Structure 1
């Protein structure tokens, strides 16, 4: 099978925060893997920029270490690494001062795409954007990539958008959410809108409910100071889970281009009903024999920040009226699992009698681990003894279907950075999307503070607090198991 890859123009990519953890773990190794895949043009250049004082050689050694640790199987290939490192340079730059900007400008070339990755705290976005313009590094064709958090509430999100808008047009701003770069998330749109089989059934008439789960086994250790000011609602629901909800629920766009797709996502957010506090469960993991509890990790024994959230929401439009969406996410859960499950309704009448049991078709879209899709179908259990029904998965994992010659699935950051260079904003959030998501999320958080709600405790390695199970049980439903 021949892979059709959209070519990438020559580019200068400046990574502000180039010595930081995100650059080391994701951005630089991802660029290296795209280089190994032959997707990086000969005239591509990557420039790290940060406060640390070092020269090109020292930064290249830092990048080489990151490649060896996070670059995958190809990271051990010294020849490939050396060829990649020839494209890498470094500038000592003061984001809020004058140091380094003229020198950085001297490295940039005319006639190639200029992209600037803000892998720094949001408090520095304004200073960076202003200096890119005032020192003449950026023009009207340049692109800027900004990492979440995109504010901590609606007010700060509006202020952040306004700051960026002072210096760059919306068409130049790429708000990156790595969940949207996952192969399976994009495959979801192909399955929905490229197959007549599913789209006629994708509505309240045939779908009983939809579950979206993003479960993590890690604690907040090492991120406690940030996480305790955020919590699961701000850190995960407002962005990652909201984007997954939009993609699963959106109407078919007129065409597959950035604004058409993002227009439909925005309609979903604006159609979300306010969530009653009885339909939200907050949790906080406790200590066990081997792990400290959440409050120890954040060094605040009175913290009421949630490490787990489960909620039930509704979308008030013709397609989804009456169909509940259940969302949950948390730290220190049983296994690392991200999944969207579309649970279809029972057949209107069973010809097999009550002894056959209840069987439902479930389309499960796995985002991690082992990205892929399965469709649960009901068949007769083999063997004599009557009509015994059993549910079996129809596996639609694309990696197996495409065979051993298929290109290795790129990491989400790899795909998204290449989309920035191509100028394709389809998988990036628009400013009005971000603000609409905060407008829906803020009242939930405000309600917790107003009522003085305290998160429910749950054991590490569990499925979360018992109240989250009851959220489904009250409706005669149950969560899909988070398998260890």
Structure 2
């Protein structure tokens, strides 16, 4: 079975920060894969814009090297690469000055879709928006894509939203969170709302608790100075984990449309209860046998910034009253894995009296690696000797289930950029979502700063601090053991 390709209209995509790391690692190689799949019309163009003083020919060489370094199997498609590079242009631009803007204005066409990717720090968003407006490069139909961080607290997020709103309407702004572009994240909505099997059980009558884990084996490395001003709460919980929580917990939207989905996500954020201090565990990795400590990476020997956080949350609404949501994320962990686990309640009564083991149905949704889902069910152990029960997974790994079609599943950035061109905001964060998330997050951060909380240490390559285990164990539960 061949994946159905949905074409888009011709476009000009301008990437500010077009020579940067994100553009070279993710954006341009991803666009090349969409080009190979036939999703890029013949007269579409990609225009890099940055401070680097190179010309279009030099830019094409740079991107050819980026595809060779960061592309997958498709990097061997030399003829296709040459055709793709023909779509690329480059203009040196001074984001805070006037240099290059007249040239960019002359290059960008007015009779195609115009999208502008702000692959730069948020401090430049206002400058770029102002110049796109004053040079009449963008109009009411144009779209802008902005990367996180969307502020570092509520006040800065509001200021950022106000800055963008000076020249762009909310329906033109695409706040990108690559987690929402993952195939499994969208399948989460399909499983919930497309199957009669799950939605009737998706509530506090049948669900015991839910776990959300995003673990990374890498440490902060060369990002230590940046990360030390952020920490796991700002870097991961406020955006990525919050979005996963919303998708797992939201009410069925009236339709699968941008505002309908985002309205329901917003309700979840607003229903989150404040988190008690004893329901939060912060951690910081120590030095390993062959690795530096977090404080060494941050070059801050007295840093109290967390590289790990675990927390227990509750949602105050009819569906989820009494159901705990356990979230954890960290650097320098034992496995690289992102997973959502829905643990269903015990049977009200078991007829198998000789079996004293607890058997539960568990739905796990794997975001990485090996995207897929499995549902743990209880069956009889094969063979004679009575009714002995065992738990087995009904496994659906996308690569195995979809065969050749899975090979053409776009990665998160590919999918989301194509959604920008289509004008589909469903998988992008709305401004009020961002502000609501910070409104919930800020008091948590302010609380531990006021208490001068010191993160618990943990060994690199472990599952985090011991206190994170106690957080869930004292409720009579345990973290799901995850293997990448």
| Structure 1 length-normalised TM | 0.99
Q: What do the CA deviations read for 1:310-364 (whole angstroms, capped 9, x no partner)? A: 0000000000000000000000000100000000000111111253410110000
Aligned to 1:257: 257
Quick one: distance in 2 between partners of 1:407 and 1:6?
16
1:393-432 equivalence runs, <5 A: 393-432=393-432
Asked if 1:248 is matched to 2:252, the reply is: no
Give the C-alpha shift of residue 405 in structure 1: 4.5
Q: What do the CA deviations read for 1:53-96 (whole angstroms, capped 9, x no partner)? A: 00111110110011111121011221111010000010000000
1:39-438 equivalence runs, <5 A: 39-353=39-353, 355-438=355-438
Give the C-alpha shift of residue 387 in structure 1: 1.3
Give the C-alpha shift of residue 397 in structure 1: 2.5
Quick one: distance in 2 between partners of 1:466 and 1:408?
41
Aligned to 1:445: 445
Q: What do the CA deviations read for 1:145-203 (whole angstroms, capped 9, x no partner)? A: 00000000000000000000001000000000000000000011001000000000000
How many equivalent residue pairs?
484
SS at 1:404 equivalent: helix
Q: Note the residue ranges of structure 1 that are not aligned, 5 or more in a row.
A: none
CA contact (8 A) 2:373 2:396 kept: yes
CA contact (8 A) 2:370 2:398 kept: no
Q: What do the CA deviations read for 1:427-482 (whole angstroms, capped 9, x no partner)? A: 00000000000000000000011000000000000000000000001100000113
SS at 2:159 equivalent: helix
Q: What do the CA deviations read for 1:408-443 (whole angstroms, capped 9, x no partner)? A: 221100000000000000000000000000000000
Q: What do the CA deviations read for 1:231-277 (whole angstroms, capped 9, x no partner)? A: 00000000000000000000000000000000000000000000001
SS at 2:476 equivalent: coil
CA contact (8 A) 1:356 1:387 kept: no
SS at 2:145 equivalent: strand
Give the C-alpha shift of residue 6 in structure 1: 2.8
Give the C-alpha shift of residue 400 in structure 1: 2.4
Quick one: distance in 1 between partners of 2:327 and 2:103?
48
CA contact (8 A) 1:216 1:331 kept: yes
| Structure 2 length-normalised TM | 0.99
Quick one: distance in 1 between partners of 2:464 and 2:242?
20
CA 1:291–1:128 in structure 2 vs 1: closer, same or farther (change >3 Å)?
same
CA contact (8 A) 2:3 2:408 kept: no
SS at 2:373 equivalent: strand
Quick one: distance in 2 between partners of 1:363 and 1:5?
30
Q: What do the CA deviations read for 1:293-318 (whole angstroms, capped 9, x no partner)? A: 00000100100000000000000000
CA contact (8 A) 2:370 2:399 kept: no
CA contact (8 A) 1:334 1:482 kept: no
CA contact (8 A) 2:5 2:37 kept: no
Quick one: distance in 2 between partners of 1:408 and 1:114?
26
Moved more, 112-121 or 345-354: 345-354
CA contact (8 A) 1:337 1:368 kept: yes
